[in-house]
Structure 1
Amino acid sequence: MSPQPAPCTWALTHKSMPTLLCSCNHTMPIDADAVGDALRESAAAIDAPGKTHHLLCRREIGAFTQALNGSEDVIVACTQEKALFAEVAAQHQGVTAPIHFVNVRETGGWSAGARRDARGFRAKTAALLAVAGLPAPDPVPVVDYRSDGHVLIVGPAERAMPWAERLADQLSVTVLVTGRDRAKGPLVPSMERRWPVHAGELQEVKGWLGTFEVQWRNRNPIDLDRCTRCNACIDVCPEGAIDALYQIDLDACRDHRACVKACGDAMAIDFSRVDAPQALSGQFDLIFDLNDAPAFAQHQPPQGYFHAGADAGSQLTASLALLQMVGEFEKPKFFQYKESICAHGRNGQVGCDACVQVCSASAIASQWKDGRGSVHVTPNLCVGCGACTTACPTGAITYAYPSAPYQGRKLKTLLSTYASAGGRDAVVLLHNGGRGRTLIEQLGRAARIDKAQGVPVNVLPVEVFHAASTGLDLWFAALAYGAARIAILLTEDDAPQYRAMLAEQVAVAQAVLQGLGEPADEAGVVLIDVADAAALDTRLGCADVSGPLRGLRRDMPAATFAVAAAKRETLDFALDHLARHAQATDAVIPLPAGAPFGAITVNRESCTLCMACVGACPSQALRDQAERPVLAMIERNCVQCGLCETTCPESAIALVPRLNLSAEARQSVTLNEAQPFHCIRCNKPFGTAQMVTTMLAKLGAHPAFSGAAAERLKMCSDCRVIDMMQHGERPGAPH
């Protein structure tokens, strides 16, 4: 029998907060009394709105300042005028309570559905307000950066030199000229030496904000840092091979070396660099990359690195960002890692490397010690997308800010409030705070002028740091809490590896739900991949996203468990709840390859019961017995990492991705067993007859075990050594 989780009692201990609702000049059908009733029905831990405001940010601003006089946090249902409210609060005398802002306007208040379904919009508003009243996530360790503004501008001279001129007054500039962009015509740089200038081919860039290490190779005979810009070399070059940027055209140069003589004591020209380029390096806080190809190949480059290429708009945007990157900075350490349950590698074999493959910032690397593999995450490179935590089958990497339990409380509060207030068919729309939020806001504004339907009343937007940061555990938990569907919003700026990983996770979720009896055309988890607000409007209006629920969860009671810090524990709670209310009778659900649930099959004819698979299993799904040769499995523990399959010397193991919901999955089930083989010398059991037969076949040709010496293979390891010491090459008689 599975353990029963305790219900979440967090909301009972949370303090109430004053709430301010505004219709935004009568453009939304907001009724504060009705929303207040909905909040009271849901037992949400915030105060019901006292009245409906219509111009809270203008003539009714006094209601806002009055709310600041209390000791509790204040909830303002407006994000349009967040800056104004913050400014008023800053000027407020006395202690100012923290302010929580929530967007009910673009997320549904301006939609066509809000005008048609007042009750649904009321329930949605109450749910969004209840979530806004949640406290901030618990603090976590931070990652520090320090930048003194030393920027390397790298690229063709015609691009790099003008930007050096513009930025030199605000930043400490160094220029690395990587060539010429002759399409832009001749360039005459400033003759005043204001910053170091190097020329060369970029070799390697690594690091992050404040700690970049750059290596380049200099093939230019003229050392631009030594050069005095006297132009004597230009005057004497008979081929005109030296330009105003002091780059020598080696194809035109005929080796007169008149330039070397003219340079004289400055000693800035050395042609030996042509055949033996100098390897140079430097350390910088920031990098402004104007080359056509970026120095970093990954989708998410390190913080402090800005690639703009030849595009003038991108160059301007990057330059403004550079100016803001001077000082001391910090960000949360977004992840926690528990090596003991990591399935990355055992016995020198790689098992699961999902986190390494999905990381768009190249922040995760494999590391090995004594044959055991683990992963190392560089906190300064991590961008907090959370894709690694979603892909991890064991929960070895977890999202720390915000944590899974916090996200679970958020989803539970949202869905329970919505349902208590009379809402139906709730769709949780997970989106990030960048492009995802922008598309939702654009959609809301289009709906205001009847250019779109807007966000449907039953679609509840939930902003996360990144859409890739949630996975099967939170999706199934939300479905158990009463969500009709989970929709994950992807946009054009999402990394391709995120798309692939989320598509695989969604396929697993859909297979599980269909195995529980959900109709094939009613997916409980869907991906929404759009590039603009119009496409989002169309997709949200489809029946498979916002249509009424028809399947197994239509009348399912909401679960009471709380999301746990351990991923597999949450999955157990959620799947058990869904299974208890399922229509399907088959307890074993086939899943697609790569699913984090499953069993293995063992070819008993090939298996020698060497137990290498048991030693490799990171989740204790495979077990042996000290008394006799038995290979057993607890299927619910299996994460399908494949280490048993790759470790098996006889290739006797195959993975079987499936979800076994029966009680047997939690019990130890024997996969293979045999009678022990007893040592012919001391009679101690030390293996199986099949293992000894296999050793005889494989080692019979070895000099130490050939002929009569093969009898030693029938001895335990201790007796084998004793026999070799007593009898040398001739085995002794069995005792």
Structure 2
Amino acid sequence: MVCRLLCLRHYHQAGRTRKVQRQIRLCDCNRSFTVDEQALAAGIQAPLKVHHELCRREIGEVESALACGDVLVGCTQEATLFAEVAAERAAARIDFFNLRENAGWSAEGRGATPKMAALLAAATLPEPEPVAGVTLVAGNHLLIVGEAGAALGWAERLATRFDVSVLLTGTSRDAELPTERRYPVWSGAGVTLSGHLGAFEVAWTQQNPIDLDLCVRCNACIRACPEGAIGWDYQVDTARCRAHRACVAACGAVGAIDFARADGQREGRFDLVLDLSPEPLLKRVEPPQGYAAPGRDPLDQALAAQALGELVGEFEKPRYVAFEPKLCAHSRSRKTGCTNCIESCSAEAIASAGDVVRVDPYLCQGCGSCSTVCPTGALAAQYPRVEDLGLRVKTVLTRYRDAGGEAPCLLFHSAEAGRALIERLARRGEGLPARVIPLETWSADAVGLDLMLASVALGASQVAVLAAGTHDAAPLRAQAAHAQAILTGLGYAGEHLRIVDAEDWSGLEAALWDWTPAQGVGRAASFRPVPRKRDTLDLALRHLHESAPAPVTEIALKAGAPFGAVAVSDACTLCMSCVGACPTGALNAATDAMRLGFLEKACVQCGLCANSCPENAITLTPRLLLDESARRSVPLKEAEIFHCVRCGAAMGAKPIIDAMVSRLAGHAMFASEAQRRRLHMCADCRVIDLMENENGTKAWDMTE
């Protein structure tokens, strides 16, 4: 929780431009793996040297290199040591990448030179520009929620470190309120919690007859109660109380006891929340920073209290996703379409805000699932940006190929959990195969269909996503299934996409070492992934289609795919409600005729058109159309224009007029032939006809 906030400072500082040339220092860790210095230096425009004991006897080499400028070290194990050396030279900067566990320590380590070259090329790329951020400011006002025993115990321990408040959520005859009122204590039920670090809002209902905020703790009520229903926590056990109300009389003018309290609603605002309830108030996969629900274990509670103490202050976090409302397919005119992002958000940071969604950057934890499942690209991951990660993909694949590597497999993994699993595999198992190139990203949840297909188009034989550390692998599996269906449909043989849901290093080892290389493109694409999701998909699909072993024009896909066709039945009246609802312009109304057109390339299968159609005339068919017809607007339905039977003015599509007449034919207001005839007239002619054919008095009465 803390590192998700604090580690971002490095990212925001890292984007500054470095004009000095970096020196590269690699180490084979006491000759435990092979490093081909000549081969690696061939593709790098920077001084490169390989060492054997860089972190020990040769540490002076790092000091000498830092004296000349920035340094890139191919070792992460001793990053702390090297950083301490670099700290003595404030003008120099030191960066690290992992050559040992990612490449050298492998059963195929001797053949890993192309992968080492690829990893080195990625490490020498310029730092991406920092993303926009949001600032969180948290004081030390801590609310402790829970049963009296645990809540009061921790309040006593933490009262000197925090501005503590306590909310008791149950009675406990063994618990005793402190004799000295050093912090507020309340009691209540029906507790609700919302907000984020520095701005938590808590509401509860004061149900117990004794209001602890008013109670002076004189103990008169305890002594007066004949049933002993009041404990030292000053709460009434209503199951034992026999309504003598002796406690009310004993409380007297203080008025802290009220068995008929009318207004029991209470609320408060806090910086931090320690939730000791039996069931957490927030049941989220990713709770907000500043909220801790450690359960009943005392050690977990102590660790949670310590972590909360580190969250007092001012912090910066990135806006993990960018949102473009115009592309959002969530809703139109109160008709719901796509809800993928809302359903996938593990932090509950996304909610409906009318026709579009609202993203709370303070709650967002940056998993990127929303960008993965968004069919239009309205939500785009920013940490890292797709174009920045795409540049790394293109760089490693190009360098790997130039260094003589074959059948590359990209392994996307999350920054913390994925890295740890790969390191354990290198130490305990066979390591990564020489053709498997790990690419670390903030969260592997954000690896979507666009990045998967673009990677294959750019020359990857296969793409694996390590699910360790992800919140829900189901969206990743769905994306991989769509991508595999497309590649198989184009004739590419083998399994190209795999979501590796391994719980330990042995599972990762089995998933990668037994994976036979799949058929890739004969010629790698030259494009770079771009910010717009649909544009990247279009570039990738064009190249995959051009290079396909068995090119086809249509591929059937499963429901949920972001490509497909729209069909209309004879029930369509050309009311054009679907055109107004379509967020991407896939459905359009012609300007020269009563005609509904469809541009399949723009369709994302969000369903807004079908949900908006009053005639239920629209059906969706998931598929991928790859010929030029997908890029042209094709007519779905056309009808003649209906003209007013009196003046000849155009009134609209004939089917919609016919539908109106059919529905109103049995209405009492249109019982006569003359009245029914007016349904075929324009608005002006109806008034004129009414004036001419009804008696004047009646007509004028209607206008009053």
- TM-score, normalised to structure 2, is 0.92
State whether structure 2 residue 141 is matched by structure 1 residue 150. Answer: yes
2:652 to 677, 687, 691: 687
1:279 to 259, 262, 265: 265
Q: How does 1:359-508 map to 2 (within 5 A)?
A: 359-368=345-354, 373-446=355-428, 452-491=429-468, 494-495=470-471, 498-508=472-482
Equivalent residue letter for 1:172: D
Distance 1:477 1:16 in 2: 31
Distance change in 2, residues 1:693/1:225 (3 Å): closer
Distance change in 2, residues 1:503/1:99 (3 Å): same
Equivalent residue letter for 1:518: Y
2:504 to 521, 532, 535: 532
Q: How does 1:92-131 map to 2 (within 5 A)?
A: 92=89, 95-96=91-92, 98-114=93-109, 118-119=110-111, 121-131=112-122
C-alpha displacement of 1:221 = 2.8
State whether structure 2 residue 637 is matched by structure 1 residue 672. Answer: yes
2:9 is aligned to none
Distance 1:175 1:649 in 2: 54
Distance change in 2, residues 1:226/1:541 (3 Å): same
Q: Deviations over 1:596-619 (max 9, x none)?
A: 11111222x222222222222211
Distance change in 2, residues 1:406/1:585 (3 Å): closer
C-alpha displacement of 1:103 = 1.3
Q: Secondary structure at the match of 1:112?
A: coil
2:295 is aligned to 309
State whether structure 2 residue 340 is matched by structure 1 residue 354. Answer: yes
Asked if the contact 1:480–1:578 (Cα under 8 Å) also holds between the matched residues in 2, the reply is yes
State whether structure 2 residue 513 is matched by structure 1 residue 541. Answer: yes
Distance 1:542 1:729 in 2: 91
Distance change in 2, residues 1:223/1:647 (3 Å): closer
Distance change in 2, residues 1:725/1:412 (3 Å): farther
2:608 is aligned to 643
1:449 is aligned to none
Asked if the contact 1:124–1:458 (Cα under 8 Å) also holds between the matched residues in 2, the reply is yes
C-alpha displacement of 1:398 = 1.3
Distance 2:274 2:479 in 1: 37
Asked if the contact 1:158–1:180 (Cα under 8 Å) also holds between the matched residues in 2, the reply is no
Equivalent residue letter for 2:577: A
Higher relative contact order (CA 8 A, sep 6+): 1
2:547 to 581, 596, 601: 581
Q: Deviations over 1:391-418 (max 9, x none)?
A: 1111111122322111111111111111
1:89 is aligned to 86
Structure 1 segments unaligned to the other structure (5+ residues) = 1-12, 447-451
Distance change in 2, residues 1:723/1:20 (3 Å): farther
2:286 to 300, 318, 322: 300
Asked if the contact 1:151–1:285 (Cα under 8 Å) also holds between the matched residues in 2, the reply is yes
1:608 is aligned to 573
Q: Secondary structure at the match of 2:108?
A: helix
2:664 to 687, 690, 699: 699
1:208 to 196, 221, 237: 196
Distance change in 2, residues 1:287/1:639 (3 Å): same
1:29 to 28, 34, 37: 34
Equivalent residue letter for 2:299: G
1:10 is aligned to none
Structure 2 segments unaligned to the other structure (5+ residues) = 1-17, 700-704
Distance 2:106 2:610 in 1: 53
Q: Secondary structure at the match of 1:69?
A: helix
Asked if the contact 2:171–2:233 (Cα under 8 Å) also holds between the matched residues in 1, the reply is no
Distance change in 2, residues 1:62/1:343 (3 Å): same
State whether structure 2 residue 20 is matched by structure 1 residue 54. Answer: no
Q: How does 1:187-226 map to 2 (within 5 A)?
A: 187-188=175-176, 190-226=178-214
Distance change in 2, residues 1:74/1:352 (3 Å): same
1:627 is aligned to 592
Distance change in 2, residues 1:367/1:187 (3 Å): closer
C-alpha RMSD of matched pairs (Å): 2.4
Distance 2:551 2:532 in 1: 29
Distance 1:379 1:258 in 2: 53
Identity of aligned residues (%): 46
Aligned length: 680
Asked if the contact 2:444–2:470 (Cα under 8 Å) also holds between the matched residues in 1, the reply is no
State whether structure 2 residue 582 is matched by structure 1 residue 617. Answer: yes
C-alpha displacement of 1:166 = 1.9
2:484 is aligned to 510
